[in-house]
Each structure stands twice: as structure tokens, then as C-alpha cells.
Chains A and B, each alone.
Chain A
């Protein structure tokens, strides 16, 4: 065991590499934060390289006053909460009958729904179909289709099958209905897997750019990701932030701070909960990997 504990040259290099790797992962995020809170002057003189220089929250104030950003933020929250709720409801409604021996169609139904893991119609046919439903430009097109994911149903079903049968049988003998068993026995005992799924779906919807780009063209409905593209990639920060700004270097630098502040508030919810929920994410990937 002695040799295993002793540090050698390789170990020092390895540790150095891993530390460098961590810095590479963190630096962009730190830099973005520093730009967003630094003094305006330090930003336009380009002296911010790592840590904030000075301190001011003007950029954050500007975002809070920018109706478009506030609206997009609200939309993102609504889409995320709603889409995640729908997903969990669908998972439970599907997984319970599909794990219940009394449901005689569970074989064929699993097989048919399972096909969706292998085939998808592709962008254009899906778009035309949703269009024919009149779903374009509605909140539903972002929150409903995402809920019908057989992969998550498999995870919940696998979890339900680990719950001892006796619990369900005892409840049934006592006269509990299926809905009551689902709500009072299955849901409390499935909390970890439901939390894992909720996290995955929530992050996916929060970060989704593709679906809003395809299905929404009314700026009232845009989520943050579409707003971020306008500001960061299309360079339209000036239109988004209200107020009169001269075409100066100072204004340009301020817009840059506004962009970075928008990135920070977008990442904010994820970064805040990340340390506490990380283990669910890791478990989730592993469950998925093993079952797959």
C-alpha cells in the first residue's frame, strides 16, 4: 500500500494537468461574471482579464428595466415549470399501468411506445404536423411534445417494479383505488427518480433553442435562449435595452456588460442549485447508461 500513497513525478504532473483543466472549465464563467459586475471604465479600457475591477450593477439594472428580457425570462420559467410538470405527469400515468400485471395490454403498449426511441419523423414532417394542429406560436408546442418521452417512462417503470408488491396489495385490500395507490404509495417512493427526470427535463427546456426557433415567431413568446441569440450573436443588445445610448465606445462596452449579465442570469438558476442536485444528475446518466 505504501507505493500507492507515495507521490511521484507522474502524480505531480497529473495533478497539475487536472488543476489546469479545472481552470479551463471555470475561466470563461468567471470572466463573464467579472465583466458583468466591473466598473464601466475598466471594461471599455479592456483591463478586466480575470477578477472584477471595481463594482457596479448597472448592467443588471438595465436588464431588469428591459421589458424584452424580463418577458423572456418569465417565458422561460413558465415553459420550464410547465414542461417539467407535464413530463412527470405523463411518466407516472404511463409507468403505473405499464408495471401493473392487471393491465393486460402492457406488453403491446410498451412495444409500440418503445418504437419512438428508434424512429422520429424529422424536422419538416413534425413541423407540418404541429402546424396542422394549430400549435405554432403557442406555449403548448414548447411544453407538451417534450413530455412524451418513452425513455423517462422506462426509468420510472423500472423504479416502480422495485417497490414491493405487498405494499400495493395491502393498499388494495384496504380498498384504495389505483389513483390513490399511485399518489400515496408510488409517488412518495419514486421521489429520487422523479427528481432526476425533472432536473434533466428542466435543464433541457431552459437551454432549448431549437424548438423555440422553429415553432415561435412572436416576440411576446420568446424564451431567454432566443433573446440571448439576438443579443450575443446578432449584436442587437441596443434594441433590447431601452434608453438612449450614443454610438460610443463606452456604450459598446456597456452593452457588452449587459450581454454578460444576461448570460449570468441565464446560468444563475442552474449554478445555484447545481452543487445540491449534482448527484441526481450523475445517477440519472448512469441509470440511463446501464439500462441502455
Chain B
């Protein structure tokens, strides 16, 4: 119901209409004041914590100084953005972000689908085995990133369990922590360890929606297992796959802060310094607030553009012309 729908103003006189409107509002406030009392703290909270910070985003176009504050600082237009493009580290952080995001996507995106398909092949009479495997696979999702990275520091140290195995096999110790060439494998590996099981939930749910008759019919028609996967299972997953793909494409440019920050060391900055960690270091550690805000804004705009582009491509390529919107 639209606001005031169904109430026809008696006269077209604007003052009388305003009067009617006020009268209705007063009556509404009298009758439904409790609803207003409920929503008020919610609106205040959203304003303070979600909307008002957007007002502070203007410092990306200003030369922020602490004394003058957000409002009083001087406008500098796009200077902060030009500064970022000319920054000697611009190329490095953008490249690191994209490379890390790309490998994370390419490796960690398909694995939950494969895992779900394999789990789906477990025989019906082994339901318990399937459930236990599922439960175990979700577990790493609940482990804090800081714990995972902390364990990586322990397991991959010189005398850690991984090097104990390496010494037993090859006789040599491998320097893994603080070595640039190992940063990406460690990063992506930890994402995979944490996310494969959890990521498969949505595909497993989609698989339960495939009627068993389809499999039975396929068997009667003499379809091999691979053909059943290819012609029954995967088409059943396709709608979900296109949605999750669109949603995960933006992760290429927005590599999460926590994992990269905790896993990186100054020695590995050449591969591990990503946009999010650079914003933190420049903006909050070196107090270059305007610059940090500008880089952050740049990052979100690119991420948003990527989602729109991915949605467009998915719409173009699939036959039903269906994207996310």
C-alpha cells in the first residue's frame, strides 16, 4: 500500500490538503506510536554507523587535516586519485591484488563444486558417511583467520611439521615463511582449506533439488557415470553456478584484508602487499587519511564495475539471458 493511498482529498486547496495530511500523521502517531518507538533506535543506529561515514568519504577529494576536520579541509578534486596512479607502488599493489584474487578465484571457486559432485556420488546406503564428511568439511570455516595464519607460522617454520616431513623426504630444509615465492601458495591454500566444505553447501542444496528419476532414467538409457554427471548433475547446478560466479568475480580486486595482512611480512611485500593492506598502512599507520580514502574508493568502484561486467557477460553467454538482475 502506498502512502496515503485510498484517501481522496476532499478539496484541491493545497492548505487543506496539508492540513489533512498533518491530521492523518497525528492520528497515525497516536495509534501506532509503538511502531515509531521501535524503528527510531534502528534508524539512529543506521544513520550513525552506516550513512554518516559516507559523508566522510568526501575526504577522498580533499586534503584532510586533523585540525580542520572533514568539513573544513580543503577540496583538491581528483588529486588524491592522480597521486595513486603515479604512486611508485600503484602498479605493485594493483598487480598483487589482481594476481592473488585471480589465483584464489581460479583455484578456490571450482573446488566446492567438484567436492559437492563427488559427495553426491556417494551411495544412498552410505548416508552416514556422507553426513560425517560434510560436517567435517564445514569445520575449518569456523576457525578464525588469525588462528589459521598462526598455525601456518608454526607448521611451515624451519623446525615445523612441514619441514620435518621435507627433511625426511629430501634431506633439505625449505625456507617457506618470509619467502616471496611461497606467499601466494600459502594464501590460496589457506583459503581453500577453510572454504571448500562451506562453499559446497549451496551446491549440495541445489543437488538435492534434482529429481532422482532423472538419474534412474539416465541409467535405463545406459548412461555411464561420467555421462550422468555431465548431463544430469552439472546442468542441475548451472543456475547456482552462474549466480555464485558473478558474486565471486569482484573478489579479484577486493582481496580480504585480514589474511593478507596477517600472512605478509615486509620481506614479502613485493608479492603480498595488496590494496587493502596498503590503504591501512598509508591511511592509518602513516596518517595519510585522504590518500587512503581515495584508494579505498577506487577499489570499491572497480569491484562494483567487475560485478556489473560479470553479470553482463553471464547474461550474454547463457541462453536464457538470465543474470543476477
Contacts and interface: CB of A to CB of B under 8 A. Distances in A.
A90 B262 contact: no
A233 interface: yes
Contact of B39 (A7, A93, A177): A93
A150 to B, nearest CB: 8
B170 interface: no
Interface residues on A, range: 35 or more
Interface of B: 1-4, 28, 31-32, 34-36, 38-39, 41-43, 45-46, 48-57, 59-60, 64, 69-70, 115, 118-119, 121-126, 129, 132-133, 135-140, 142-147, 149-151, 153-155, 159, 161, 164, 193, 197-198, 201-202, 205, 215-216, 219, 225, 257-258, 262, 276, 279-280, 283-284, 289, 292-293, 296-297, 299-300
A21 B129 CA distance: 13
B55 to A, nearest CB: 8
Contact of B118 (A14, A94, A124): A14
Nearest to B284: A127
B122 A18 contact: yes
Interface in A65-110: 90, 93-94, 96-98, 100-105, 107-109
A148 B45 CA distance: 7
B70 A128 contact: yes
A97 B37 CA distance: 10
B287 to A, nearest CB: 10
A104 B154 contact: no
Contacts of B142: 203, 207, 267, 270, 274
Most chain B CB within 10 A, of A24, A25, A127, A225, is at: A25
A292 to B, nearest CB: 8
A7 B225 CA distance: 12
A164 B119 CA distance: 38
29 contacts: A14-B122, A15-B122, A18-B129, A25-B193, A31-B161, A102-B31, A103-B39, A104-B28, A105-B3, A108-B3, A113-B46, A120-B50, A122-B279, A122-B299, A124-B293, A125-B56, A126-B53, A127-B283, A132-B70, A133-B48, A145-B49, A177-B34, A206-B144, A207-B144, A207-B146, A232-B149, A232-B154, A263-B151, A285-B201
A209 B145 contact: yes
B197 A121 contact: no
B321 to A, nearest CB: 20
A124 B283 contact: yes
A252 to B, nearest CB: 9
Contact of B202 (A105, A214, A289): A289
Label chain B's interface by main secondary structure: helix
A11 B119 CA distance: 11
A242 interface: no
Given A22-B132, A97-B38, A228-B144, 11 more contacts: A29-B139, A98-B39, A102-B31, A102-B35, A104-B4, A125-B293, A125-B296, A147-B45, A228-B150, A259-B154, A260-B154
A228 B262 CA distance: 11
Contacts of A119: 54
Interface string A250-274: 0000001001100100110011001
Nearest to A10: B225
Contacts of A1: 216
A116 B118 contact: no
B154 A256 contact: yes
Interface string A210-251: 100010000000000100110111000000000000000000
B60 to A, nearest CB: 8
Label chain A's interface by main secondary structure: helix
Interface stretch (A52-60, A189-197, A275-283): A275-283
The 6 closest A-B pairs by CB, nearest first: A232-B150, A125-B56, A122-B296, A121-B53, A207-B144, A178-B34
A173 interface: no
A122 B262 CA distance: 20
A123 B279 contact: yes
A129 interface: yes
B154 A21 contact: no
Nearest to A275: B135
Contacts of B139: 25-26, 29, 271, 274
B136 A26 contact: yes
A102 B38 CA distance: 13
A97 B39 contact: yes
Given A90-B42, A102-B32, A121-B56, A24 B193 contact: yes
A8 B224 CA distance: 12
A127 B60 CA distance: 14
Contacts of B150: 228-229, 231-233, 259, 263
A96 B154 CA distance: 49
Contacts of A123: 276, 279-280, 283-284, 292, 296
A5 interface: yes
Given A14-B121, A122-B293, A116 B136 contact: no
